[in-house]
Amino acid sequence: MINQFSIDIPQSTLDDLQHRLDHARIPAALPGDDWDTGVPVGWLTELVDYWRTEYDWRSVEKQLNEFPQYTTEIDGQVIHFLHVRSAEPDALPLVLTHGWPGSFVEFIDLIGPLTDPSSYGGSAADAFHVVIPSLPGFGFSSPITSSGWTAERVGRTWAELMNRLGYDRYGVQGGDIGASVSPEVGRAARDHVVGVHLNGPGPIPPYPLPAEEFAELTPLEQDRVARINAFMQEEFGYIAIQSTRPQALAYGLVDSPVGQLAWIMDKFREWTHPRTTLPDAIIDRDKLLTNVMIYWLTGTAGSAAYVGYAQQQAWGATPANSGVPTAAIVFAHDVGIRRYTERENTITRWTDVDHGGHFAALEEPELLLADVREFFRDLR
């Protein structure tokens, strides 16, 4: 059964948020108050002030509810999703999958150009019907009801979702966790998935990479390996916490909106490009806050961490290649390396871009859109 869904946050919940923001306890700044020790107090305080005095959730809620939303139960889990059909009769269905610390709202500005390209300077022949699910345990696909929500299981769930929607042939696209889930949809439904499009694809090479293997890489690939090494040494802490103690972390993030904001903004600063530019100079403040609001209003900091990082995976096992044509676009921040991605995917298109960051749909929507259109053009 598929049920219509509309976001309707109780006013009491918004009043509680306002109270917490008005009375937030901000920590003293550490020496230097810069990003080396985390989110700077000076910068975050200004963003908190904007959140509590200028950000308008009701306006955003109204905008989000302009898109058809639904829920359905699959494998014991309620799944929330947007389903926007194109007016073009030959439109290709396309599943868009977000990651962490993202949400379905990443793709909102792409819905119009994807479903109605002729109104945005494109060709009607490139139209898509768009399906945007929230990952289990994320946002309105909560609360999570069981463990074991690996990328493979989510892929099977998305395949069942598309079956319920009556789609026999469709494409998939995703980044971050979505870049792990999307190929799994192809493996689960290889007779139905016409193409897989990824931004920032995995897997990453072995860590640490043997010297002789490193020497065989191109200079661009060596740079990406070097940045992987730096990430493992300087940024891995959040994964260590979320993958081992997601429940302990959740108490603070679900109780403190400022804590939730800081936890997510730390990643937006590290993963947007260029890193030296503040995240709200790259992505609109209201969009950043709306993404945070999805986590705050649904209290899903713990379940999102649990699903994203705490599931046991078959380390060292290479998934079977589905044979489905797969495209990858790698923006400047990301570290995808073709020779490793090819071990488990049939790569038919690979694009390296010298700018742009991890949150492709928010940072480089036009480039992402163009690459998606061109890839699927010959697969329809």
Task: Say whether pLDDT at 317 is over 90.
Answer: no
Give how many domains the chain has, as a whole number.
1
- CATH (domain of 93): 3.40.50.1820
Closest alpha carbon to 114 in 155, 173, 57, 54? 173
Q: Is 129 an annotated catalytic residue?
A: no
Q: Tell me the average pLDDT across 128-157.
A: 96
pTM over 0.95: yes
Closest alpha carbon to 187 in 152, 160, 137, 221? 152
Q: 27-51, pLDDT tens digit by residue?
A: 999 999 999 999 999 999 999 999 9
Q: Tell me the average pLDDT across 353-371.
A: 98
Provide the residue range defining the domain that includes 252: 2-377
Q: Tell me the average pLDDT across 221-239.
A: 94
Nearest 5°: phi and psi at 262? -65, -40
Report the alpha-carbon distance of residue 90 to residue 70 in Å, rounded: 23
Read off the pLDDT band of 311 (50, 70, 90): low
How far are the Cα atoms of 33, 34, 37, 234, 257 from residue 30, in angstroms, in the given order? 5, 8, 8, 18, 21
Task: Give pLDDT, residue 318.
Answer: 82
Q: Is 309 an annotated catalytic residue?
A: yes
Indicate which residue of 309, 333, 334, 371 is catalytic.
309
Q: Tell me the average pLDDT across 349-365.
A: 98
Q: 196-227, pLDDT tens digit by residue?
A: 999 999 998 988 999 999 999 999 999 999 99
Task: Give pLDDT, residue 160.
Answer: 98
Task: Say whether pLDDT at 377 is over 50.
Answer: yes
Q: What is the arrangement of strands in the sheet containing 2-5, beginning at the earlier edge strand?
A: 2-5, 69-74, 77-84, 128-133, 92-97, 170-175, 193-199, 325-330, 346-352
Indicate which residue of 176, 266, 286, 334 is catalytic.
176
Read off the pLDDT band of 313 (50, 70, 90): low
Closest alpha carbon to 167 in 124, 115, 130, 126? 130
Would you say 218 and 355 are in contact if contact means Cβ atoms under 8 Å apart?
no
Q: Is 19 an annotated catalytic residue?
A: no
Task: Give pLDDT, residue 64.
Answer: 98
Report the alpha-carbon distance of residue 186 to residue 345 in Å, rounded: 10
Task: Say whether pLDDT at 95 is over 80.
Answer: yes
List, in order, residues 6 or more apart from 100 with CB less than 8 Å away.
138, 176, 177, 304, 305, 308, 309
Task: Say whether pLDDT at 306 is over 90.
Answer: yes
Task: Please tell me the least confidently modeled range out of 83-87, 296-300, 306-310.
Answer: 306-310
Q: 108-122, pLDDT tens digit by residue?
A: 999 999 999 999 999
Task: Give pLDDT, residue 314.
Answer: 44
Assigned token pair, 356: 């742009």
Q: Tell me the average pLDDT across 135-140.
A: 98
Side chain identity at residue 356, one-letter code: G
Report the alpha-carbon distance of residue 203 to residue 338 in Å, rounded: 9
Task: Give pLDDT, residue 204.
Answer: 87
Tell me whether residue 267 is exposed, middle or buried, using C-beta atoms within 10 angstroms of its C-beta: 0 to 12, 13 to 18, 19 or more.
middle
